[in-house]
Structure 1
Amino acid sequence: METVEAFGAVLRKRRLAAALTQEQFAFEANIRRNYVSMLELGQHQPTLSMLFTLAAALRCHPSDLLLEVEERLAKARGKERRTPIRPTQRRARATKRTPE
């Protein structure tokens, strides 16, 4: 999952939790509805100032949005990666090698 896609998913989740349509949210943020749609679909990435505007329209802190994006990315990346080998397993493998 890309960062911009994760942000879009978080934005949509927060908007729906606030019981706002895209039109209502766009009005609150003083932006166009199609821009809201593009953000939610991961087709556009907001600027820093727009992040603050979006957060204000959702009545939350910008850091709340970013934290949720970070958590979503970590969860997605965890599913994509194999379980890493713990250091103790590496040592055990190294000691099992036979000298030639």
Structure 2
Amino acid sequence: MSEQPIIIKQIIGKTVKAIRLKQGLSQEDLAHECNVDRSYISMIEVGRNEPSVTKIFNLCKGLKIKPSDFFMLVEIEYQKIQETSFEDK
């Protein structure tokens, strides 16, 4: 089975957490902005939950970032991992 879905979940979580921390928001703050439970934010950030596109748009609204910018950050991180794994082979 491909590791791609696992990697993408982890990148999404890492990206959400990085933006949240940069903005000085707690998980509780972001959860309140997105109308979800704090544990849901935690599960996303550790890569155990993969948010739907709708939830990603809600997260982006709470993080005050355009979804296109969010996906661009995710894509950049994904490319870095792909390049690193390609170099390892």
Same fold (TM over 0.5): yes
Out of 62, 67, 79, which is 2:67 matched to? 62
Matched AA of 2:14: A
C-alpha separation between the residues in 1 aligned to 2:72 and 2:87? 24
What is the match of residue 15 of structure 2?
10
Paired residue secondary structure (2:87): coil
Root-mean-square deviation (CA, aligned residues, Å) is 1.3
Paired residue secondary structure (2:28): helix
Superposition deviation, residue 25 in structure 1: 0.8
4+ residue stretches of structure 1 with deviation over 3 A?
A: none
What is the match of residue 35 of structure 2?
30
More helix per residue = 2
Superposition deviation, residue 80 in structure 1: 1.1
What is the match of residue 82 of structure 1?
87
Superposition deviation, residue 82 in structure 1: 2.6
C-alpha separation between the residues in 1 aligned to 2:14 and 2:70? 10
Out of 44, 47, 52, which is 1:42 matched to? 47
Quote the sequence identity (%). 30
Larger Rg: 1 or 2? 1
TM-score normalised over the length of structure 1: 0.79
C-alpha separation between the residues in 2 aligned to 1:82 and 1:58? 34
- Segments of structure 2 that go 5 or more residues without pairing to the other structure are 1-5
TM-score normalised over the length of structure 2: 0.88
Out of 37, 46, 51, which is 2:56 matched to? 51
- The count of residues paired between Structure 1 and Structure 2 equals 83
Superposition deviation, residue 74 in structure 1: 0.4
- Segments of structure 1 that go 5 or more residues without pairing to the other structure are 84-100
C-alpha separation between the residues in 2 aligned to 1:82 and 1:54? 33
C-alpha separation between the residues in 1 aligned to 2:85 and 2:72? 20
